């Protein structure tokens, strides 16, 4: 392992350098860039720590950044070569694991997990191939006019669909830890921000999606879900196109990532007009 001194906890003094690195791939870095734009690099406001790796330990914090990794509820290695990955793994292994997942560029995540597996493993699930998709132009299918932002007074109607999606996608019920209070608060926050969308039929959600992260240039769609009784009817493409249009009206490029094995979802996104620009990986704990 490289000396721990090669990795530094970054703060607002490094904001310009960090933003310059993130700007080289705004789609790949959307999740972390959105946090920094909203809260800066102070760990309390950021909701985690931003680690920077330098190739020149003697210069310390003043050296040029050669790697970045966010450590919070998720561990997100963003960039860096093998020396950076080894240094990030060394820092992470010094403390008990507190993240629920590792997620980010596949080459970074898989290399970091290779280093951390012995101390943090075993993982509950590894998803090594998650195509990262983007749509900067108009969708290729007409948008569903019935998909709209969820209203705050519709939280109780929307929440069962959100729970069903999370359980189906992640493999655990998000209400288990605290009876659902934390997840309910998170969903309510997305609704209040105008970033949760749904199509209601007879008061029931038949389609839902959210804008999970939104930087100044990119919006990352998450939690796309169709009611089981309505699957295979062509609802998802038009509904997703409606969310894409909303993002574009906000001046953002639409992005999302999807499991490679989810062929129906990938086919839907191709119909909408998404193209692959990279690959994510996720390790779930």
Could you report the per-residue pLDDT of 193-210, keeping only the tens digit for each?
A: 999 999 999 999 999 999
Q: Which residues pair with 195 in a beta bridge?
A: none
**Same domain for 153 and 269:** yes
Write out pLDDT tens, residues 169-180.
999 999 998 889
Instruction: Please count the structural domains in the chain.
Output: 2
Range of the domain at 40: 4-122
Q: Which whole number is the average pLDDT over 45-71?
A: 84
**Same domain for 173 and 117:** no
Residue 4 has pLDDT above 50, yes or no: no
**Same domain for 90 and 29:** yes
- Give the start-end residues of each E strand in the chain: 7-9, 48-54, 65-72, 74-80, 101-105, 125-135, 148-149, 196-201, 204-214, 218-226, 253-257, 275-284
- Is this prediction's pTM over 0.85? yes
**Same domain for 103 and 195:** no
**Same domain for 153 and 262:** yes
129 inside domain = no
Predicted local distance difference test score (pLDDT) of residue 64:
85
DSSP string across 167-211: HHHHSS-TTTTTTTHHHHHHHHHHHHTT-EEEEEETTEEEEEEEE
**Same domain for 189 and 266:** yes
Write out pLDDT tens, residues 86-133.
999 999 999 899 999 999 999 999 999 999 999 997 999 999 999 999
Residue 150 has pLDDT above 80, yes or no: yes
**Same domain for 152 and 275:** yes
């Amino acid at each position: 392992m490289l000396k721990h001194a090669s990795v530094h906890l970054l703060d607002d003094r490094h904001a310009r350098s960090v933003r310059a690195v993130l700007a080289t791939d705004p789609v790949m870095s959307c999740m972390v860039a959105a946090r920094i734009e909203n809260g800066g690099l102070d760990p309390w406001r950021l909701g985690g720590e931003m680690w920077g790796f330098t190739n020149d330990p003697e210069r310390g914090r003043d050296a040029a950044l050669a790697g970045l990794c966010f450590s919070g509820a998720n561990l997100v290695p963003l960039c860096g070569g093998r020396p950076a990955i080894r240094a990030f793994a060394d820092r992470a292994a010094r403390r008990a694991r507190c993240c629920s997942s590792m997620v980010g560029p596949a080459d970074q995540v898989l290399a970091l997990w290779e280093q951390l597996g012995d101390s943090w493993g075993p993982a509950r699930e590894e998803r090594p191939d998650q195509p990262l998709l983007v749509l900067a132009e108009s969708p290729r299918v007409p948008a569903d006019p019935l998909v709209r932002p969820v209203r705050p007074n519709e939280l109780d109607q929307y929440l069962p669909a959100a729970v069903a999606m999370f359980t189906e996608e992640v493999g655990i019920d998000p209400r288990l830890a605290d009876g659902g209070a934390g997840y309910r608060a998170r969903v309510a926050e997305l609704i209040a921000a105008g970033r949760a969308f749904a199509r209601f039929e007879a008061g029931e959600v038949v389609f839902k999606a959210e804008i999970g992260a939104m930087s100044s240039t990119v919006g990352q769609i998450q939690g796309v879900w169709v009611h089981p009784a309505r699957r295979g009817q062509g609802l998802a493409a038009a509904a997703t196109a409606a969310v894409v249009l909303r993002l574009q009206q906000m001046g953002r490029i639409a992005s999302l990532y999807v499991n490679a094995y989810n062929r129906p979802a990938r086919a839907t996104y191709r119909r909408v007009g998404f193209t692959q620009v990279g690959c994510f990986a996720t390790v779930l704990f």
